[in-house]
Amino acid sequence: MSLRIAFIGVGNMASAIIGGLIASGYDAGKICGTSLDVTTHKALEDKFGMRMYADNSSAVANADVVFLSVKPQQMGAVIADFVENVREDQLFISVAAGIEVGSLEKWLQKPVSVVRCMPNTPALVGCGMTGLIANDNTTAEQRQWVSNVFDSFGAHVWVSEEQQMHTVTALSGSAPAYFFRFIEAMIEAGKAQGLDAESCRKLATYSMLGAAKMATELEEDIAQLRINITSPKGTTEQALIALEEKGIDAMVRSAVDACARRSQELAQEFAAN
Protein backbone atom coordinates (compact mmCIF):
# COMPACT_ATOMS: atom_id res chain seq x y z
CA MET A 1 0.00 0.00 0.00
CA SER A 2 1.38 3.41 -1.00
CA LEU A 3 -0.35 5.38 1.71
CA ARG A 4 -0.13 9.04 2.64
CA ILE A 5 1.57 9.28 6.04
CA ALA A 6 1.52 12.11 8.57
CA PHE A 7 3.85 12.32 11.56
CA ILE A 8 2.42 14.43 14.37
CA GLY A 9 5.58 15.56 16.12
CA VAL A 10 8.84 14.92 14.26
CA GLY A 11 11.50 14.24 16.89
CA ASN A 12 14.28 11.65 17.05
CA MET A 13 12.06 8.57 16.95
CA ALA A 14 9.83 9.89 14.19
CA SER A 15 12.96 10.83 12.23
CA ALA A 16 14.24 7.26 12.61
CA ILE A 17 10.96 5.86 11.28
CA ILE A 18 10.91 8.33 8.38
CA GLY A 19 14.52 7.52 7.58
CA GLY A 20 13.76 3.80 7.59
CA LEU A 21 10.75 4.25 5.31
CA ILE A 22 12.70 6.31 2.79
CA ALA A 23 15.70 3.98 2.90
CA SER A 24 13.37 1.09 2.08
CA GLY A 25 12.13 2.93 -1.01
CA TYR A 26 9.02 4.68 0.28
CA ASP A 27 8.05 7.81 -1.65
CA ALA A 28 9.01 10.85 0.44
CA GLY A 29 6.30 12.79 -1.38
CA LYS A 30 3.75 10.63 0.46
CA ILE A 31 5.11 11.68 3.86
CA CYS A 32 4.43 14.86 5.82
CA GLY A 33 4.97 15.96 9.38
CA THR A 34 4.40 18.61 12.00
CA SER A 35 6.61 20.13 14.68
CA LEU A 36 6.12 22.86 17.26
CA ASP A 37 9.62 24.08 16.44
CA VAL A 38 8.93 25.71 13.07
CA THR A 39 12.60 26.60 12.72
CA THR A 40 13.29 22.91 12.01
CA HIS A 41 10.76 22.62 9.19
CA LYS A 42 13.06 23.54 6.31
CA ALA A 43 15.87 21.34 7.63
CA LEU A 44 13.50 18.35 7.85
CA GLU A 45 12.08 19.04 4.38
CA ASP A 46 15.59 19.24 2.95
CA LYS A 47 16.76 16.13 4.79
CA PHE A 48 13.85 13.84 3.91
CA GLY A 49 12.17 15.48 0.92
CA MET A 50 8.91 15.54 2.87
CA ARG A 51 6.45 18.34 3.54
CA MET A 52 6.11 19.96 6.96
CA TYR A 53 2.85 21.52 8.17
CA ALA A 54 2.46 24.30 10.72
CA ASP A 55 -0.71 22.74 12.16
CA ASN A 56 -1.72 19.19 13.00
CA SER A 57 -5.22 19.37 11.53
CA SER A 58 -3.99 19.90 7.97
CA ALA A 59 -1.54 17.02 8.24
CA VAL A 60 -4.18 14.62 9.61
CA ALA A 61 -6.82 15.66 7.08
CA ASN A 62 -4.57 14.64 4.19
CA ALA A 63 -3.30 11.35 5.65
CA ASP A 64 -4.22 7.68 5.44
CA VAL A 65 -1.86 6.79 8.30
CA VAL A 66 -1.10 9.06 11.25
CA PHE A 67 1.89 8.49 13.51
CA LEU A 68 1.35 10.05 16.94
CA SER A 69 4.84 10.80 18.19
CA VAL A 70 4.31 13.55 20.74
CA LYS A 71 5.09 13.34 24.46
CA PRO A 72 2.66 11.15 26.46
CA GLN A 73 1.47 14.00 28.66
CA GLN A 74 0.58 16.02 25.55
CA MET A 75 -1.27 13.28 23.67
CA GLY A 76 -4.85 14.00 24.81
CA ALA A 77 -4.63 17.71 24.06
CA VAL A 78 -2.89 17.16 20.71
CA ILE A 79 -5.58 14.72 19.53
CA ALA A 80 -8.34 17.07 20.74
CA ASP A 81 -6.83 19.74 18.49
CA PHE A 82 -7.34 17.70 15.31
CA VAL A 83 -10.09 15.23 16.28
CA GLU A 84 -12.63 16.84 13.91
CA ASN A 85 -10.41 15.74 11.00
CA VAL A 86 -10.31 12.08 12.05
CA ARG A 87 -11.80 9.65 9.52
CA GLU A 88 -12.91 6.09 10.17
CA ASP A 89 -10.73 4.77 7.32
CA GLN A 90 -7.52 6.07 8.89
CA LEU A 91 -4.86 4.10 10.76
CA PHE A 92 -3.35 5.72 13.87
CA ILE A 93 0.00 4.52 15.24
CA SER A 94 1.12 5.79 18.63
CA VAL A 95 4.80 5.97 19.51
CA ALA A 96 4.11 7.50 22.94
CA ALA A 97 5.27 5.41 25.91
CA GLY A 98 2.60 4.54 28.46
CA ILE A 99 -0.47 5.50 26.41
CA GLU A 100 -2.74 2.47 26.14
CA VAL A 101 -4.91 1.62 23.14
CA GLY A 102 -8.12 2.24 25.09
CA SER A 103 -7.10 5.82 25.86
CA LEU A 104 -6.26 6.48 22.22
CA GLU A 105 -9.64 5.11 21.14
CA LYS A 106 -11.46 7.41 23.57
CA TRP A 107 -9.54 10.49 22.45
CA LEU A 108 -9.96 9.73 18.72
CA GLN A 109 -13.75 9.35 19.21
CA LYS A 110 -14.30 7.20 16.11
CA PRO A 111 -13.94 3.46 15.43
CA VAL A 112 -10.56 3.81 13.73
CA SER A 113 -7.69 1.35 13.49
CA VAL A 114 -5.18 1.93 16.29
CA VAL A 115 -1.72 0.44 16.80
CA ARG A 116 0.40 1.15 19.83
CA CYS A 117 4.12 0.63 19.43
CA MET A 118 7.17 0.62 21.69
CA PRO A 119 10.30 1.18 19.58
CA ASN A 120 13.76 1.73 21.02
CA THR A 121 16.60 4.11 20.28
CA PRO A 122 18.77 1.71 18.20
CA ALA A 123 16.22 2.50 15.50
CA LEU A 124 18.40 5.57 14.92
CA VAL A 125 21.13 3.27 13.55
CA GLY A 126 18.86 0.80 11.75
CA CYS A 127 18.82 -1.81 14.54
CA GLY A 128 15.60 -1.00 16.35
CA MET A 129 13.28 -3.46 18.05
CA THR A 130 9.60 -2.57 18.29
CA GLY A 131 6.77 -4.13 20.27
CA LEU A 132 3.32 -3.74 18.70
CA ILE A 133 -0.32 -4.22 19.72
CA ALA A 134 -3.41 -3.44 17.62
CA ASN A 135 -7.08 -2.88 18.38
CA ASP A 136 -9.84 -5.01 16.90
CA ASN A 137 -10.51 -2.53 14.08
CA THR A 138 -7.04 -3.06 12.62
CA THR A 139 -7.10 -5.34 9.58
CA ALA A 140 -4.57 -8.03 8.70
CA GLU A 141 -3.46 -5.89 5.77
CA GLN A 142 -2.84 -2.92 8.06
CA ARG A 143 -0.92 -5.07 10.53
CA GLN A 144 1.32 -6.31 7.72
CA TRP A 145 1.91 -2.73 6.54
CA VAL A 146 2.89 -1.71 10.07
CA SER A 147 5.20 -4.74 10.37
CA ASN A 148 6.95 -3.74 7.16
CA VAL A 149 7.43 -0.17 8.40
CA PHE A 150 9.14 -1.20 11.61
CA ASP A 151 11.18 -3.89 9.90
CA SER A 152 12.61 -1.15 7.65
CA PHE A 153 14.83 -0.06 10.55
CA GLY A 154 15.09 -3.24 12.61
CA ALA A 155 12.62 -5.91 13.70
CA HIS A 156 9.31 -6.23 15.55
CA VAL A 157 7.13 -8.46 17.71
CA TRP A 158 3.34 -8.37 18.06
CA VAL A 159 1.71 -8.97 21.43
CA SER A 160 -1.94 -9.81 22.03
CA GLU A 161 -2.54 -8.25 25.46
CA GLU A 162 -1.96 -4.67 26.59
CA GLN A 163 -0.32 -5.90 29.80
CA GLN A 164 2.44 -7.47 27.74
CA MET A 165 3.52 -4.05 26.48
CA HIS A 166 4.95 -3.35 29.94
CA THR A 167 7.22 -6.36 29.50
CA VAL A 168 8.14 -5.16 26.01
CA THR A 169 9.16 -1.85 27.56
CA ALA A 170 11.35 -3.62 30.12
CA LEU A 171 12.99 -6.04 27.68
CA SER A 172 13.36 -3.72 24.70
CA GLY A 173 12.22 -0.13 25.02
CA SER A 174 14.40 0.68 28.03
CA ALA A 175 16.92 -2.12 27.63
CA PRO A 176 19.57 -0.31 25.56
CA ALA A 177 20.33 1.74 28.67
CA TYR A 178 21.03 -1.45 30.62
CA PHE A 179 23.64 -2.50 28.06
CA PHE A 180 25.18 0.97 27.99
CA ARG A 181 25.54 0.78 31.75
CA PHE A 182 27.17 -2.64 31.50
CA ILE A 183 29.61 -1.28 28.91
CA GLU A 184 30.41 1.63 31.22
CA ALA A 185 31.24 -0.82 33.99
CA MET A 186 33.45 -2.90 31.68
CA ILE A 187 35.33 0.21 30.55
CA GLU A 188 35.97 1.27 34.12
CA ALA A 189 37.15 -2.24 35.03
CA GLY A 190 39.57 -2.22 32.10
CA LYS A 191 40.90 1.20 33.00
CA ALA A 192 41.45 0.02 36.57
CA GLN A 193 43.76 -2.67 35.15
CA GLY A 194 45.80 -0.06 33.27
CA LEU A 195 44.33 -0.05 29.76
CA ASP A 196 43.49 3.29 28.14
CA ALA A 197 39.85 4.40 27.89
CA GLU A 198 39.68 4.35 24.08
CA SER A 199 40.93 0.76 23.87
CA CYS A 200 38.58 -0.30 26.69
CA ARG A 201 35.59 1.19 24.88
CA LYS A 202 36.47 -0.47 21.58
CA LEU A 203 37.06 -3.87 23.17
CA ALA A 204 33.84 -3.77 25.22
CA THR A 205 31.52 -2.36 22.57
CA TYR A 206 32.68 -4.62 19.74
CA SER A 207 32.39 -7.63 22.02
CA MET A 208 28.77 -6.69 22.76
CA LEU A 209 28.07 -5.99 19.09
CA GLY A 210 29.52 -9.36 18.09
CA ALA A 211 27.62 -11.22 20.80
CA ALA A 212 24.37 -9.55 19.71
CA LYS A 213 24.95 -10.50 16.07
CA MET A 214 25.67 -14.10 17.04
CA ALA A 215 22.55 -14.23 19.23
CA THR A 216 20.32 -12.82 16.46
CA GLU A 217 21.85 -14.49 13.41
CA LEU A 218 22.86 -17.96 14.60
CA GLU A 219 20.27 -20.64 15.32
CA GLU A 220 21.93 -22.02 18.44
CA ASP A 221 20.30 -21.58 21.84
CA ILE A 222 21.62 -18.60 23.79
CA ALA A 223 22.79 -20.84 26.61
CA GLN A 224 24.69 -22.99 24.11
CA LEU A 225 26.44 -19.95 22.69
CA ARG A 226 27.63 -19.17 26.21
CA ILE A 227 28.74 -22.75 26.79
CA ASN A 228 30.68 -22.79 23.50
CA ILE A 229 33.12 -20.17 24.77
CA THR A 230 33.26 -21.30 28.40
CA SER A 231 36.09 -23.77 28.75
CA PRO A 232 36.24 -25.70 32.05
CA LYS A 233 38.60 -23.93 34.48
CA GLY A 234 39.23 -21.26 31.84
CA THR A 235 39.13 -17.47 32.00
CA THR A 236 35.52 -17.12 30.83
CA GLU A 237 34.32 -19.60 33.42
CA GLN A 238 35.95 -17.58 36.20
CA ALA A 239 34.27 -14.38 35.00
CA LEU A 240 30.87 -16.07 34.88
CA ILE A 241 31.33 -17.57 38.33
CA ALA A 242 32.02 -14.09 39.67
CA LEU A 243 28.83 -12.77 38.05
CA GLU A 244 26.78 -15.65 39.48
CA GLU A 245 28.21 -15.02 42.95
CA LYS A 246 27.01 -11.41 42.70
CA GLY A 247 23.50 -12.65 41.79
CA ILE A 248 23.24 -11.62 38.17
CA ASP A 249 19.83 -13.28 37.64
CA ALA A 250 18.29 -11.54 40.64
CA MET A 251 19.84 -8.23 39.62
CA VAL A 252 18.45 -8.39 36.09
CA ARG A 253 15.04 -9.61 37.27
CA SER A 254 14.90 -6.69 39.72
CA ALA A 255 15.70 -4.20 36.94
CA VAL A 256 13.13 -5.67 34.52
CA ASP A 257 10.44 -5.79 37.22
CA ALA A 258 11.11 -2.17 38.24
CA CYS A 259 10.89 -1.01 34.63
CA ALA A 260 7.65 -2.88 33.95
CA ARG A 261 6.16 -1.58 37.19
CA ARG A 262 6.95 2.03 36.26
CA SER A 263 5.47 1.43 32.80
CA GLN A 264 2.22 0.32 34.47
CA GLU A 265 2.22 3.43 36.65
CA LEU A 266 2.68 5.69 33.63
CA ALA A 267 -0.19 3.97 31.82
CA GLN A 268 -2.49 4.76 34.74
CA GLU A 269 -1.16 8.31 34.98
CA PHE A 270 -1.75 9.06 31.28
CA ALA A 271 -5.04 7.15 30.94
CA ALA A 272 -7.99 8.95 29.37
CA ASN A 273 -10.72 9.84 31.87
Q: Binding residue per annotation — 241?
A: no
Q: Does 8 show up as a binding residue in the annotation?
A: yes
Q: Which residues contact 203 (CB under 8 A, 6 or more apart)?
A: 190, 195
CA distance 98 to 96: 6
Annotated binding residue 56: yes
Is 248 labelled as part of a ligand binding site? no
Whether 20 has a binding-site annotation, put simply, is no
98 belongs to an annotated ligand binding site:
no
Angstrom distance (rounded) from CA 53 to CA 144: 28
Return binding residues for NADPH. 56
Return binding residues for NADP(+). 8-13, 35
Return binding residues. 8-13, 35, 56
